Amino acid sequence: MGALGGQIERAGDEVLILADHSLKDLQGLLADGAEERNEELNSVNTLRLLGRWTRMILWPISPRSRGVSTIL
């Protein structure tokens, strides 16, 4: 994860990934993050390009998961 220079922040059931990289790099970053946290993650809710920055909002599969609110 550090090699990509990405940042993963956790907020409740939401996982926010901020990275200045291609989608392929982000997919690798996501796989690393899921492995590190030993979690299964659901599919991407929102993907939006803001200049060179990409924000992906994801959420874990859990009984109490109610989905993700858009923060972009």
Q: Give the tens place of pLDDT for each residue, 6-46.
A: 444 444 444 444 444 455 666 666 666 555 444 443 334 33
* Whole-angstrom distance, CA of residue 41 vs CA of residue 52: 24
Nearest to 39 by CA among 31, 29, 51: 31
Neighbours of 65 (CB within 10 A): 13
CA distances from 46 to 17, 19, 24, 25, 63 (A): 11, 14, 16, 17, 21
Tokens of 1: 């994860």
pLDDT at 25: 63
pLDDT at 29: 61
* Whole-angstrom distance, CA of residue 9 vs CA of residue 14: 9
